[in-house]
Structure 1
Amino acid sequence: MVLASASPRRLQLLEQAGIAPDALRPASVDESVSKGEVPRQIVRRLAKAKAEAALKLVKNDPELAKCFLIAADTVVAVGRRVLGKAELENEAADMLRLLRGRAHRVYTAVTMVTPEGRWRERVVETRVRFRNISDQEIGAYLASGEWRGKAGGYAIQGIAGAFVVKLIGSYTNVVGLPLTETVSLLAGEGYPVALLWLAKAEVEAE
């Protein structure tokens, strides 16, 4: 199995589910948003583009050419305004000020390509509400550096978990990879997820 991502969060989530990718093939794609695109369209397009780019990287590798491949993309949205990955501190600050004291939605698209070349996709939405975090808290959070490269300028699995007063839906979706849907996609196409769990249990029992 190949994970088309350099995200340590996505790798950790897969490993949490007992799935260890055979290879990581991060795919660099243009993540700019077209005017009028809604969040679901954006994540679907980008996850598909990442999968296509990763397939080009593995097609000439005999050990990976016939593999399951997983790609994903995550965005945060406030109404119709889409918040991508924060790369600059002032971008993250603007995002956090926008998110405080209100609800937002997190969308992740997961694209899977099977060894036989079948394409499968899921889009997952989670609703999150932040408390009214102060300017001082925002400044301290920015100093932590956790915001860097994160959709919406925050990482819920870190300090920003203390900002959340309500979450409806998948927590792992907000982290970056909805585990229930990803595992279901893999198992539905014959990836031996349950056998991996049994093998892990046998190893731990020795």
Structure 2
Amino acid sequence: MNNFPKVILASKSPRRQELLRLMDIDFRIVLKEVDESYPDGLSPEEIAVYIATKKAEAFDEDVTNEVVLTADTIVSIDGEILGKPETPEHAVEMLHKLSGKVHKVYTGVCLFYKGEYNKFYDVSEVFFRQLTDEEIRSYVADKSPMDKAGSYGIQERIGLIGIERINGSYTNVVGLPTEKVYQQLKRLAV
């Protein structure tokens, strides 16, 4: 077991929760509603960090000796930001855009601890093979891409059959760059 401060995970993502459990990090979940809009003109990494920071700022008055961990993941392809799909058809449209191409996944993280905002991000390149319309529609019908940036989970069927390779952190694509989070929590524990 580590000697990290207790962590508040401000995320309903089951994937982020599972990653923290696998890292043997003691945490509890506290959720707050946050407007996830962002100003125009930001780069993808700036958007991810901006939203993660907004989520942490919602805890500004509430926390004492715990680390608030917030994160936001976005997908970027050809200069376009792909957030979470609004409808199943929107999910199909997004997956067609990603099919046969390389895109980038950015996860912004903010660790709010003792009045300080420790902000960072990670980026991974994801190479999708050409997907058939049937593979895409079957995934959208069977799984729930609605809560995932870019309409897919790398750990789900579409990722298992469609992703040829990645450059960068796998866990970043899942939704939390665990290697960087661990190192930052270690630094805060000193």
Q: CA deviation at 1:33?
A: 4.3
Size of the aligned set, in residue pairs, is: 183
53, 56, 68: which is aligned to 2:58?
A: 53
1:32 has 2:37 as partner: yes
Do the aligned residues in 2 keep the contact of 1:25 with 1:54 (CA within 8 Å)?
no
Question: Which residue pairs with 1:7 in the alignment?
Answer: 13
Q: Which 5+ residue runs of structure 1 have no aligned equivalent?
A: 192-206
Q: Deviations over 1:91-147 (max 9, x none)?
A: 111100000000000000110012x22221111000001000000111101111331
Say if 2:24 is the partner of 1:18: yes
Secondary structure of the 2:69 match is: strand
Q: Is the 8 A contact 1:27 1:51 kept in 2?
A: no
Bigger CA drift: 159-168 or 171-180?
Answer: 159-168
Distance, in Å, in 1 between the alignment partners of 2:156 and 2:188 is 33
Matches within 5 A, 1:134-145: 134-145=132-143
SS across alignment from 2:144: coil
**C-alpha deviation, 1:48, in angstroms:** 0.2
- Name which of 139, 143, 146 aligns with 2:144: 146
The letter for the 2-side match of 1:179 is T
Q: Please name the residue that 1:175 is paired with.
A: 174
Give the aligned partner of residue 110 of structure 1: 109
Percent same amino acid at aligned positions? 37
Cα RMSD after superposing both structures: 1.4
Quick check: 1:86–1:151 contact (8 Å CA) kept in 2? yes
Counterpart Cα distance in 1 of 2:69 and 2:97? 32
Q: Name the amino acid aligned to 1:88.
A: T
Deviations 1:22-44 (CA, angstroms, capped at 9, x unpaired): x2112322223443222111111
Calculate the TM-score normalised by the size of structure 1: 0.84
Equivalent residue number for residue 196 of structure 1: none
Q: Which deviations, in whole Å up to 9, do the C-alpha atoms of 1:62-101 show, x marking residues without a partner?
A: xx53211110000000021000012310111110000000
Question: What is residue 126 of structure 1 aligned with on the other side?
Answer: 124
Residue 75 of structure 1 aligns with an amino acid whose one-letter code is I
Residue of structure 2 in register with 1:44 after alignment? 49
Query: For residue 81 of structure 2, what is the amino acid of its counterpart?
Result: V
Residue 54 of structure 1 aligns to a residue whose secondary structure is coil
TM-score where L is the length of structure 2: 0.91
Larger Cα-atom Rg: 1
Q: Separation in 1 of the partners of 2:40 and 2:117?
A: 27
**Bigger shift: residues 36-45 or 122-131:** 36-45
